[in-house]
Each structure stands twice: as structure tokens, then as C-alpha cells.
Amino acid sequence: MPRPSKGVHLWLKPEERDKAGKLRKRSVWLICDGPRRVVTGCAEGERGKAEERLGEYIREKYQPGRERDGRAAEILVTDVLAIYQQDVVPNHARPGKTIERILQLAEFWAGKSLDDVKGASCRAYVEWRCAMQWKSAKPETSNNPPRMVSPQGARRELEDMRAAINYHRKEGYHREIVEVTLPPKGASRELWLTRGDMAKLLWTCWKTREIQKGEKTEKFPLRHLVPFIIAGRYTGTRPGAICDAALRPTIGHGHIDVENGVWYRRKIGRRETKKRQTPVRLPARFLAHLRRWVASGRVTKWLVEHGGRNVAEVNKGIARAVHLAGLDPAYVPHVITRHTCATWLMQNGADLWDAADFLGMTVKQLEETYGHHHIDHQKSAASAISGRRA
């Protein structure tokens, strides 16, 4: 019986040395697709770039089989993921993030068929992932303990695989039911910033100076985070949409109408997704801040920009600001923006329907996640139990 193919995947070609031990060729990442080898030009420490090249190769070069009514034992998981990446992922709100998760899945499931997707293999994937650290973690330079992948991180990746398998079946490429076993869903975050913490974080971003050769300079490397934090605090917009926002209509981006005070959060040319990126009317205080930034030239083309360029992601900057401010490291961008805004809306007694539309979520989602913060939550019950019977 022939050995099953591993499907398209990355392979680190070892370095080559001569008999004297002198280095002849450094290790390099290759894309392996059957007998074919494609050099990525990425060294051992450039795994992220190699994965980007692999994603491009899968998207542009690799054409997985699309035979109808295939048998699960004959269909590679990597082929299923590749079809999902080609057909569905381009319509996602953040396709780059989905591709990263697909590439991680492909590394483990390479050579495995849909028939191998069982409860035991899914649990093995979670165990395998949780033994890894996030690729963004650099303990050797930050001197901080490495951030390990959590069961919830592995769950999010398996959710993508489940969606890919379901899409493959709905398109008629296979008929058998394939179940993906997920680890238990984690508890929702009960975190939000107090007004004092918010002020401390903003002040830290504003005043922190860059240090070179032990001396403070006149450069302020965290000031570009101030518009990000204020935008999230006043609108509850997701971090990705805040970083994506332009100040004028731009294809492939959301944009803010500064003159009329409306933020069109959904990207131009992108269909509506379950993220419900609805337009939002800007609160007067945030609009005043924004107009002042535009007038002073602090922002020119993008809401979050550094050196005139759009900042695609703020995770590292926010982590540094939170550390310098002495706040809980669990205050990630999503907590600072969406969780905090939604919690404050409930604490201030906002109408559920208006708040849900403002945040771009359903009333059910808002009530289940943040309803207990509402000023009127269980108020009538608490009053009734203390009253006397008529």
C-alpha cells in the first residue's frame, strides 16, 4: 500500500557543513508539495514569512481535488482546508488571521484524511498546540516568560477546521458526517477598565518617551495608541476595525465621515458578516477629539497611524503600555475597547436595543454577556422580595 501524501507543507531544510565542520549552506524553509520543492528564501528564524509564502502558494498554485461524493478516507484534511481558504476565507473580516490558523492546522493534519478526524486526534491536536508558544512571543529579547498557546487558542483553530469540513460537505465533495471535537469553551472575560485605569493608560501612552543609549529622546513611540484607545472607549468597535479605519472612503477599508460624525465600520466592497460591522454615530466628545487631531495633523489618512502609515495591529504596543502603566496584563486590546465600552453602557443604564445597534451585536449577545452590569438588572426582583404583600 503506497505511503499517504502529507499534502502541501513547510519543511526546514537542515544546514549543510563540510567535513571540517565549516558552514556551507544555512538552513532554509522549503514548501513541499509531493516531489516538488519550492525555496521560500526564509531562514530558520523567519517562520512567519515562510508561512506567508506557503499561504500564497496554496492560494495561487495549489489546486486541491474537487471530485464529487468522495470517501472520507481518501480526502486529505489539507485539501479541505485549501478549498476553504480559496472559496470562503477571502470574504472574512480578517482573512490574514484565518490563513495563519489554517497553516497551523495544516502542519499537524498533514497526511491525515477526514477519516482520521476523531475525538482522540482532536484532543491530540489541542495537547500538541498547548505545548507551543505563540510565534509572536520573543522571551529571548523581552526577558518575559513565553506566552503558551491556550486550549481556547487551539479551540479557535479547530473551529476553522470544522467550518472547512462543513463547507466541503455542503458543496457535495463528500457525504459522510465528520465531527470535530472541541475543548470546552472558556468563561467569558469579566474584565473592563475603570475610569481611573483608562486615564492612567492614556497618560502613559501620551508621556512615554523613547530611550536611546540610556537617554530620553523627544520621540513618543506610544502616542499613536491614544486615538485607538479613545475610539474603542467611545464606540466599542473591534480592535481590527479601529486599526482599519481610514479618514476618507478607501476601497478595502472602513472609513470615518469626520464632517458628519458617522463611522462606517464595514470595509467598502466587503459583504456583511456575522461580525455586524454596522455604522455608528460618533459621540460628541470623541468627534471633538477626532476633529482636533485632524486639524493639528496628528492623524492624516488613518485613525491609527504611525509615521504617516496605517498601523495594522496594536497588540505589542498595548501590551507595553499596559505594563508601563502597571495594569493587569489581561487588559488586551479587546478588553480595553469592546468590553469596557459595553460594560460602561450597561452601568450607565443604556437601552438594550440602542446599545446593541451601537456596538454592532444582537440584543441576545449583549444581554447574555453584559446584561448583569445593567443598572436595572434584577432591580424589580430585588425590590419585590424586600416589599410587603398588599
Residue 303 has pLDDT above 50, yes or no: yes
Neighbours of 198 (CB within 10 A): 19
For 137-194, the pLDDT digits (tens) are: 555 555 567 778 899 999 999 999 999 999 999 999 999 999 999 999 876 667 899 9
Q: What is the pLDDT of residue 65?
A: 81
- The residue among 259 and 313 whose pLDDT is bigger is 259
Residue 3 has pLDDT above 60, yes or no: no
Q: What is the DSSP string of 318-343?
A: HHHHHHHTT--TT--HHIIIIIHHHH
Q: What is the pLDDT of residue 139?
A: 55
Q: What is the pLDDT of residue 2?
A: 47
Residue 334 has pLDDT above 50, yes or no: yes
Nearest to 264, CA basis, from 277, 286, 279, 282: 279
Tell me the C-alpha distance between 174 and 185, whole Å. 28
Report residue 58's pLDDT band, with 50, 70 and 90 as the boundaries.
confident
Phi, psi for residue 214 in degrees, rounded to 5: 80, 0
**What's the whole-model pTM score?**
0.69
Cell triple for 348: 450607565
Residues facing 306 on adjacent strands:
309
Report residue 126's pLDDT band, with 50, 70 and 90 as the boundaries.
very high
- The residue among 272 and 243 whose pLDDT is bigger is 243
**Contacts of residue 38, Cβ cutoff 8 Å, sequence gap at least 6:** 30, 31, 57
Nearest to 10, CA basis, from 32, 37, 26: 32
CA trace torsion 79, 83, 86, 88 (10° rounding): -140
Tell me the domains of the chain and their CATH numbers. 1-58 (no CATH), 63-186 (no CATH), 195-376 (1.10.443.10)
Nearest to 341, CA basis, from 233, 241, 191: 233
Cα within 13 Å of Cα(278), Cβ side: 15
CA trace torsion 10, 16, 22, 25 (10° rounding): -60
| The residue type at 85 | Q
